[in-house]
Amino acid sequence: MSDTFIEELRVRATIDRYFHCVDSGDWKKLGTVFTDEASFEFNLSPTEKKVLKGGQAIADYFQDRNKIFRTKTHYVGHAEITLDGNVAKADVYAISNVTIGERIAVRGLRYADELVKGTDGSWRFRSRVHRGLWQYYATFVEPEVPKT
């Protein structure tokens, strides 16, 4: 395998780790996928956004914001990753399912990412821009396994 392919896999692992941390509520680990100087632009609506600075501040915001969700699951789609030395850019698509009360907001998302490779070889987000592309609502029902 080429070194480029391995580094792309490591970048993708960081992207996947971000979503796993958000869905599992691992706020401590979430802070570690960002650099200390990271910027996260979170677009709440077409006209409202929040810009967060620093890995810990980003994790703290998500911990507080996610208290409104009963459950959440993100499905990460395709990611176009380009490498330039120790800097990676990624264009990532995902679908978010978040339950608020009895409603599920299903959203198509797009992320514009810049990651940097640390001296330890790990990739971390230096900047992440979140944009909602579309959304619809569904009704929540308790999961059950069908009886035979």
Domain harbouring 97, CATH code: 3.10.450.50
Q: H or E segment at 21?
A: helix 3-24
Amino acid making up residue 61? Y
Cα gap 83→72, rounded to integer Å: 31
Whether 110 is covered by a domain: the verdict is: yes
Whether 146 is covered by a domain: the verdict is: no
pLDDT of residue 68: 93
Whether 147 is covered by a domain: the verdict is: no
Q: Is the pLDDT of residue 1 over 80?
A: no
Query: Partners of 138 in the beta sheet?
Result: 104
Domain residues for the domain of 60 are: 3-139
Q: Kindly state the tokens that stand for 76.
A: 């990460």
- Domain count across the chain: 1
CA 91 to chain centre: 12
Rounded mean pLDDT of 77-99? 97
| pLDDT tens digits, 118-134 | 999 999 999 999 999 99
pLDDT of residue 45: 81
Whether 144 is covered by a domain: the verdict is: no
Cα gap 98→22, rounded to integer Å: 11
User: Model's pTM, two decimal places?
Assistant: 0.93
Whether 76 is covered by a domain: the verdict is: yes
Cα gap 38→31, rounded to integer Å: 10
Rounded mean pLDDT of 107-125? 97
| pLDDT tens digits, 26-70 | 999 999 999 999 999 998 888 889 999 999 999 999 999 999 999
pLDDT of residue 88: 98
pLDDT of residue 148: 81
Task: Quote the strand ranges of the chain, DSSP E.
Answer: 34-43, 49-53, 71-84, 87-100, 103-117, 123-139
